[in-house]
Structure 1
Amino acid sequence: MKRTEIVYLYDIIDANPNGDPNDENRPRMDAESGCAKVSDVRLKRTIRDYLHESGGQEIFCRQIEKSDGTIQAGKDRAEDFFEKVTEKARNEAKTVLDKRALIEAEVLKACIDVRLFGATIPIPKLPKNKNEKDSSVTLTGPVQFAMGTSLHRVEPRFIKGTGAFASGQGAQQKTFREEYVLPYALIAFYGIVNEQAAKTTKLTDEDVEALFESVWYGTKNLITRSKFGQRPLLLLLVEYSEPNAYIGRLDRFLKIKPAELRGEAIRDVGELTLDLAELASALNGKKAKIHQLRYAWDKRLKLSQEPQGDQFMGCSATNLNYE
């Protein structure tokens, strides 16, 4: 496995990329820059949903309803995996630490999201050891994303509409729905795959390929009302030939042209060009340590430097051919 830096761009039209529950579910914003923000948790949810629903992969962090209609807590989820351990191994577990080791091994074997992103797993004590305390497993994920940020200023728009149901039994007046949307935003995420941390969670090359695919196609699969209208536009993977090689925050090198374009007025990706000059310069400064670039690109996003054969921004490159 190679150290890999990730740059991912997608856009959103007339939707809310990531509502803030502490602010009337308005789109998350940076007050100083006027740019939209999207949490890494939101992107990871997109990835998890695609891996589970389209890829059939087991996911640890997902909502599971119990027989009484309540939602599983973390301890309940941990017990699910303790039950998957052989009866012999369960019976041989003498302490909560023994139980913790069994659950950790089972979760890492089964759950791709824990191998990717890590997790904190609460471990209930064994019923036979009443004097013990509960324990937990903390695994640091080898794949991490920073918060996503729009490459331009945005201006949320307030929308009010009628709902399908009356406000109460016997009432004539329909309910109203109120929401905030962004007319347009081009959002960039930065992430990294750390090959050293991958050893701890037993992350495989196959897991990493599934991650890249789920970033792209998971975005396409977002069909809820508030998230519909998102399009993956560019996924760039910088694979290094040397351990621990690193540039960092590649998204900060991205700019949009023309520079005088008023961000709040943008309504379509066709109105702008992604300026890759600074990113290309940064990559060429580390070219000796770069194994290759891999990329997926929707040509609706105009680039200042387009891939040419097996070259992109002066580096050897391979097209992922995602559609």
Structure 2
Amino acid sequence: MYDVSWANPNGDPMDENKPRVDEETGINIVTDVRLKRTVRDTLMELGHEVFLREERTEDGNRKTKEDIMAYYDNDPKKVLERCVDIRLFGGTFAIKGDDQNAFSLTGPVQFKFGTSLHRVKVELIKGTSIMPSAADKRQGTFTEVYVVPYSLLAFYGVANEKAAEATHLTEDDLDAMFKALWVGHKAGTDVITRSKFGHEPRLLVDIVYKPDALTHIGELNKLVAFRSEKADEAIRDISEGVLDLSGLAEKVAKYKDKIEKVRVLVSDRVRVAPAVEAVFAEIPVEPFPWSDET
């Protein structure tokens, strides 16, 4: 979970780049692609190699997938060995010179769309720029940006151990992804642009199931709620409500025999009820190995 203050968490390019909102419910939506972009960019900043990256040719054009694939000698094995994002999220690529051989892997890590825990209101902020446009060199141009004053967003994902065998995903890869999720929404370059600045990570939960468990809880984002005395659209800060984990606690109690351990990180500004220890009673709770770094 992370929140956004006076920013655009995920603009829709087909609708004036407005924040994505479900017209029926007023719920803010962020796509899984947007989340993965933040993870990839942050992984690169943390020193990991990723395949889906932006590179440009000498004349300034963006390199294609095929261009980058050539960098790995069109060898899928080299891509898997070196690129953590493909081991995490999979990918499909055509291999140059071999029209019959496509490189396709289902990613073991998948996320549902993120949704806000409350209704949001989209605001249009207008302004002016001191820099004139080419059409009118006498005065600056008008600017406008669509933002949400506040949105607390919850994502749910799964890491499938069977698909992980095909991509050679490791525990170290998963730890790197979790770190990128937290750091990416706190200090990553990806969220310090004008439209994105204002992100903060609030809660990260990793439920690790026992090796023989043939199930998982699922829909974790639907088991949490944000309780506030304010009307949804009037909420402006995480301190104006309580993160209600009672639904998660009830579900965890039914699955506790199938859970090996849980790893949790909570922002110090979040009020949680019941306490994390109560939510995961009788289950080992550990910090993430990098928690102290952040």
Paired residues for 1:84-99 under 5 Å: none
* Partners of 1:319 and 1:170 in 2: CA distance: 57
> Is the Cα contact below 8 Å between 1:58 and 1:112 reproduced in 2?
yes
Partner of 1:282: 251
* Partners of 2:135 and 2:29 in 1: CA distance: 40
Change in 2 beyond 3 A, CA 1:267/1:159? same
SS of 1:60's partner is coil
* Partners of 2:135 and 2:115 in 1: CA distance: 44
Partner of 1:229: 198
Q: CA deviation at 1:316?
A: 2.4
The one-letter amino acid of 1:125's match is: G
Partner of 1:249: 219
The one-letter amino acid of 1:114's match is: I
> Is the Cα contact below 8 Å between 2:252 and 2:279 reproduced in 1?
no
Partner of 1:107: 79
2:233 is the alignment partner of 1:267: no
Partner of 2:284: 316
Partner of 2:69: 78
Partner of 1:91: none
Partner of 2:175: 209
SS of 1:211's partner is helix
Computing the radius of gyration from Cα coordinates, the structure with the larger value is 1
Change in 2 beyond 3 A, CA 1:166/1:134? farther
SS of 1:59's partner is coil
Residue among 108, 121, 134 paired with 1:155: 121
2:12 is the alignment partner of 1:20: yes
State, as a whole percentage, how many aligned pairs show the same letter.
Answer: 43
The one-letter amino acid of 1:289's match is: K
- The TM-score with structure 1 as length reference comes to 0.85
Change in 2 beyond 3 A, CA 1:230/1:135? same
2:177 is the alignment partner of 1:185: no
Paired residues for 1:127-166 under 5 Å: 133=99, 135-166=101-132
Per-residue CA deviations over 1:141-185 (Å, capped at 9, x if unaligned) read 000111000000000000011123102277221011111000001
Partner of 1:85: none
Per-residue CA deviations over 1:173-226 (Å, capped at 9, x if unaligned) read 101111100000100000111111100000111101101111000111221111
SS of 1:48's partner is helix
Partner of 2:164: 198
SS of 2:155's partner is strand
* Partners of 2:250 and 2:208 in 1: CA distance: 16
> Is the Cα contact below 8 Å between 2:109 and 2:157 reproduced in 1?
yes
> Is the Cα contact below 8 Å between 2:129 and 2:142 reproduced in 1?
yes
Partner of 1:88: none
> Is the Cα contact below 8 Å between 1:239 and 1:293 reproduced in 2?
yes
* Partners of 2:130 and 2:8 in 1: CA distance: 21
Instruction: Extract unaligned runs of 5+ from structure 1.
Output: 1-8, 83-98, 127-132
Residue among 52, 55, 58 paired with 1:67: 58
Partner of 2:263: 294
The one-letter amino acid of 2:179's match is: E
> Is the Cα contact below 8 Å between 1:307 and 1:313 reproduced in 2?
yes
RMSD: 1.5
* Partners of 1:197 and 1:124 in 2: CA distance: 26
- The TM-score with structure 2 as length reference comes to 0.93
The one-letter amino acid of 2:102's match is: S
Question: RCO higher in 1 or 2 (8 Å CA, sep ≥ 6)?
Answer: 1
Per-residue CA deviations over 1:70-124 (Å, capped at 9, x if unaligned) read 1111111111111xxxxxxxxxxxxxxxx6xxx1101000100000000111211
* Partners of 2:64 and 2:77 in 1: CA distance: 20
* Partners of 2:17 and 2:55 in 1: CA distance: 24
Structure 1 runs (4+) greater than 3 angstroms displaced: none
